[in-house]
């Protein structure tokens, strides 16, 4: 009968259950012993009255300090431990958590206490003291564990940073100037072919970025891009680095032999950075490999066919090196099938605001900063500078400024010192060399203009002279003076 009524009226059933549960609770007597047993679970702990006098201490507390409850019950805590801060918690009604307290025990160990006021109906009813760490040693152990975890976290942060760093694509090439748009078109064209590319440009202007972009846009993108920095390899190791060696090839060689970079890049691209630093003796060896499409390991008997796309970069003019006999012309022609010239930053200063914006976002993320931007007058000053170190220099300057500003908007004061030194050096150099410097600068400019025009009009000297606004005789004189190849 009753159940049927409950199904029809669920609220009746709920009322009934609640009454049943409530009656169970009232039968359970929550006496003082049970409170004490609960407090015992907290190890070293104290209960005080609202005035900070001992009411109860746990057994662990008694053992830890060697003091019995009956000897201190009713005593003011600070009369026993003058450094205790329970009075502060009781007066302010605020908990004090994890406070170092020089608690005195036999071993003279440091304790860490929490002082908690117990509030009833808005008024302090009692106090509670909990010793969190029994000793300085346990605190130190905890802090060591925390430090070890932080080290591990930093290690993984670095790993993630490294992984993020190693992948460049064309989206990483920032800039909207005509020169950058043209550069991107050249990259796309180069990516469609498998021919060797020679990337030329001043230091720090983004040649490596271009090499990565070509590889990532090419059909070899899923295969490795192996980089060798020719300036960083000692000349005696060049051959083994490039071609590898067989088991027992020479004393000191790895027992198992070693794969060369050509083999490692198989199916992908091989990027020879700073090719201008390749030793002269190595150059014909590289040329042979490129012509025959196979490598022979040091100490090996067989030739290994190679399938790589070669990308080379140089930060000096290889043509100039040929005329100085420091680079072989045959290798140059083999490398220079496709040629990409990366513009210097001073040729595309209109990209500076975009580049700086990009760098601020990047460094905020990488260094955990919160710089909001840069003042427009700083950008104006940046435009006045010639940036011999190109984008790498700009990047370093922005990072430096961000580390000074940390937050907010970067101002000129964050960069002043860097540029002051620069301009000082500049002025001093001018003072020292005086006239000579101006004469040399004039000559350099004249030579540059002549070279450009000769490259444009080739053998047509009449057209060339007309374009330059000089006579044919003077043109021939200048060609001779500067020893220009025509
Ligand atoms: N257009 C660009 N946009 C954003 N960052 C760039 C750009 N060009 C270069 N960088 C950055 O500038 C730095 C230098 O670039 P990179 O190493 O490609 O120069 P490089 O010409 O190969 O220099 P080097 O001749 O010294 O080897 C890198 O950190 C790169 O990410």
174 CB within 6 A, ligand 1: yes
Give the residue with greater pLDDT, 246 vs 29: 246
Find the 230 Cα to ligand 1 centroid distance in Å: 17
Say which residues have a Cβ less than 8 Å from residue 2's Cβ, sequence separation at least 6.
none
- Contact 201 CB / ligand 1 (< 6 Å): yes
User: Can you read off the two tokens belonging to residue 249?
Assistant: 């090839």
Say which residues have a Cβ less than 8 Å from residue 290's Cβ, sequence separation at least 6. Answer: 196, 310, 334
Ligand 1 center from residue 312 Cα (angstroms): 15
Q: Which CATH number fits domain 31-136: 3.30.450.20, 3.30.70.580, 3.10.129.10, 3.50.50.60?
A: 3.30.450.20
Three-state SS at 76:
strand
- The DSSP secondary-structure symbol of 252 reads T
Question: What does the pLDDT read at residue 147?
Answer: 77
The CB of 341 under 6 Å from ligand 1? The reply is no
> Which token pair is 200?
């030329």
Q: How far is the CA of 203 from the centre of ligand 1 (A)?
A: 8
pLDDT at 2: 42
Question: For residue 308, how far is the Cα from the chain centroid?
Answer: 30
In short, whether 204's Cβ falls inside 6 Å of ligand 1 is yes
Cα of 194 vs its chain's centroid, Å: 32
276 C-alpha vs ligand 1 centroid, how far in Å? 18
**Which residues contact residue 371 at a Cβ distance below 8 angstroms, ignoring those fewer than 6 apart?**
360, 363, 364, 402, 405, 406, 407, 408, 409, 410
Taking the C-alpha atoms of residue 179 and residue 441, their distance in angstroms, rounded to an integer, is 25
Kindly provide the residue ranges of all beta strands, DSSP E only, lying in 326-469, ordered along the sequence.
338-341, 370-374, 407-410
Q: What is the pLDDT of residue 398?
A: 97
List CB contacts of 28: < 8 A, sequence separation 6 or more. none
Residue 320 CA to ligand 1 center (angstroms) comes to 23
Tell me which of 126-130, 279-283, 423-427, 436-440 is least confident. Answer: 423-427
How much is the pLDDT for 134? Answer: 56
Q: Which stretches of 293-389 are DSSP H helices?
A: 318-323, 329-335, 352-367, 376-384
The DSSP 8-state label assigned to residue 308 in this structure reads -
Q: Report the share of the chain in percent with pLDDT over 70.
A: 81
Region 348-414: CATH code: 1.10.8.60
- End-to-end alpha carbon distance in the chain: 117
For residue 57, the SS3 value is strand
| Closest residue by Cα to residue 135 from 173, 100, 160 | 100
pLDDT of residue 427: 38
Predicted confidence (pLDDT) per residue in 171-198, tens digit: 889 999 999 999 999 999 999 999 999 9
Tell which wins on pLDDT, 90 or 3: 90
Q: How far apart are CA 2 and CA 21, in angstroms?
A: 18
- For residue 38, the CA-to-ligand 1 centroid distance in Å is 65
Q: Which residues contact 69 (CB under 8 A, 6 or more apart)?
A: 54, 56, 57, 62
Which band of pLDDT confidence, cut at 50, 70 and 90, is reported for residue 435?
A: low
Report residue 189: phi and psi, to 5°: -65, -45
Q: Which class does domain 170-343 fall in?
A: alpha beta
Using the Cα atoms of residue 459, residue 464, residue 466 and residue 467 in order, give the sign of their dihedral: positive
The verdict on the CB of residue 275 being under 6 Å from ligand 1 is no
Assess whether pLDDT exceeds 50 at residue 234: yes
**What are the distances in angstroms from CA 348 to CA 172, 380, 418, 423?**
17, 14, 22, 21
Residue spans per domain, the chain: 31-136, 170-343, 348-414, 426-486
Residue 95 and residue 128 in contact, taking contact as beta carbons nearer than 8 Å:
no
Confidence of residue 6 (pLDDT cuts 50, 70, 90): very low
Q: Which of 149, 194, 154, 186 is nearest to 170 (CA)?
A: 186
Q: Whose CA is nearest to atom 8 of ligand 1?
A: 206
The CB of 359 under 6 Å from ligand 1? The reply is: no
Residues 6+ apart with CB under 8 A from 340: 183, 186, 187, 190, 197, 198, 199, 200, 210
Q: CA-CA distance, 201 to 332, in Å (whole number)? A: 16
Could you tell me the distance, in angstroms and rounded to a whole number, from the CA of residue 164 to the centre of ligand 1? 15
Q: Which range is least confidently modeled, 149-163, 190-204, 444-458? A: 149-163
Mean pLDDT of 48-68: 91
Residue 343 Cβ inside 6 Å of ligand 1? The answer reads: no
Q: Identify the DSSP state of 101.
A: E
Residue-level length of the chain: 486
Task: Give, for ligand 1, the residue of 209, 352, 357 to mutate: max count of ligand atoms closer than 8 Å to Cβ.
Answer: 209
Question: Is the distance from the beta carbon of residue 345 to the nearest atom of ligand 1 less than 6 Å?
Answer: no
Share of the chain above pLDDT 90, in %: 46
> What CATH fold (topology level) applies to the domain 426-486?
Arc Repressor Mutant, subunit A (1.10.10)
What atom in ligand 1 is closest to the CA of residue 394?
A: 12
179 CB near ligand 1 (under 6 Å) = no
Mutation choice for ligand 1 from 164, 204, 393, CB with most ligand atoms inside 8 A:
204
State yes or no: pLDDT of 389 exceeds 90: yes
Spatial separation of the C-alpha atoms in residues 35 and 77, rounded to whole Å: 21
> How many Å apart are CA 382 and CA 321, to the nearest integer?
33
Beta bridge partners of 314: 200
Mutate to test the pocket of ligand 1, among 354, 391, 394, 395 (most ligand atoms within 8 A of CB): 391
pLDDT band at residue 25 using 50, 70 and 90 as cut-offs: very low
Report for 264-268, 312-316, 438-442, 462-466: range of highest mean pLDDT: 312-316
How confident is residue 410, by pLDDT bands cut at 50, 70 and 90? very high
Query: Exposed/middle/buried for 181, CB within 10 Å: 0-12, 13-18, 19+?
Result: exposed
Write down the ipTM of this complex.
0.97
Average pLDDT over residues 55-84: 91
Q: Which atom of ligand 1 is nearest to the CA of 209?
A: 18
Question: What's the CA-to-centroid distance between 377 and ligand 1, angstroms?
Answer: 25
**Tokens 């000089």 — which residue?**
470
**pLDDT 10s digits, 112-154:** 788 999 999 889 999 999 987 656 666 667 777 777 787 777 7
pTM > 0.95: no
The two structure tokens encoding residue 207: 């040649």
Question: What's the rounded Cα separation, in Å, for the pair 67 and 57?
Answer: 10
Ligand 1 atom at minimum distance from 229 CA: 27
């Amino acid at each position: 009968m009753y159940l049927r009524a409950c199904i029809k009226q669920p609220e009746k059933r709920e009322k009934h259950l609640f009454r049943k549960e409530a009656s169970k609770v009232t039968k359970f007597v929550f006496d003082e012993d049970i409170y004490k047993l609960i407090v015992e679970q907290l190890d070293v702990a104290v209960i005080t009255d609202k005035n900070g006098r001992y009411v109860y201490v746990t057994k662990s507390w008694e053992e830890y300090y060697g003091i019995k409850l009956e000897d201190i019950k009713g005593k003011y805590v600070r009369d026993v431990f003058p450094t205790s801060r329970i009075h502060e918690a009781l007066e302010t009604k605020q908990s004090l958590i994890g406070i170092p307290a020089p608690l005195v025990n036999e071993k003279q160990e440091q304790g860490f206490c929490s002082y908690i006021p117990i509030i009833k109906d808005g008024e302090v009813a009692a106090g509670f003291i909990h010793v969190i760490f029994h000793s300085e040693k346990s605190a130190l152990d905890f802090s060591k564990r925390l430090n070890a975890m932080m080290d591990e976290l930093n290690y993984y942060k670095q790993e993630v940073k490294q992984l993020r760093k190693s992948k460049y694509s064309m989206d990483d090439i920032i800039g909207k100037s005509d020169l950058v748009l043209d550069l991107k078109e050249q990259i796309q064209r180069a990516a469609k072919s498998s021919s060797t590319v020679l990337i030329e440009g001043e230091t720090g202007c983004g040649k490596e970025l271009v090499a990565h972009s070509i590889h990532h846009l090419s059909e070899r993108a899923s295969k490795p891009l192996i980089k060798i920095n020719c300036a960083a390899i000692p000349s005696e190791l060049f051959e083994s680095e490039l071609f590898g060696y067989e088991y027992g090839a020479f004393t000191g060689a790895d027992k198992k032999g070693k794969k060369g970079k050509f083999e490692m890049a198989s199916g992908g691209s091989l990027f020879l950075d700073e090719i201008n630093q390749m030793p002269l003796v190595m150059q014909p060896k590289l040329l042979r490999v490129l012509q025959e499409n196979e490598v022979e390991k040091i100490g090996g008997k067989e030739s290994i066919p190679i399938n790589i796309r070669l990308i080379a970069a140089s930060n000096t003019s290889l043509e100039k090196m040929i005329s100085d006999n420091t680079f072989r012309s045959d290798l140059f022609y083999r490398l220079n099938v496709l040629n990409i010239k990366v513009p210097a930053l001073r040729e595309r200063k209109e990209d500076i605001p975009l580049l700086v914006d990009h760098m601020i976002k990047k460094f905020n993320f990488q260094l955990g900063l919160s710089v909001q931007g840069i003042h427009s007058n700083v950008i104006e000053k940046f435009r006045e500078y010639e940036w011999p170190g190109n984008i790498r220099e700009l990047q370093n300057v922005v990072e430096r400024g961000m580390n000074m500003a940390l937050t907010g908007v970067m101002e000129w004061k964050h960069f002043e010192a860097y540029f002051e030194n620069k301009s000082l050096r500049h002025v001093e150099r001018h003072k020292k060399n005086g006239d000579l410097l101006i004469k040399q600068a004039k000559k350099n400019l004249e030579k540059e203009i002549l070279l450009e025009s000769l490259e444009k009009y080739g053998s047509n000297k009449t057209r060339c002279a007309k374009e330059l606004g000089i006579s044919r005789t003077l043109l021939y004189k200048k060609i001779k003076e500067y020893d220009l190849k025509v």
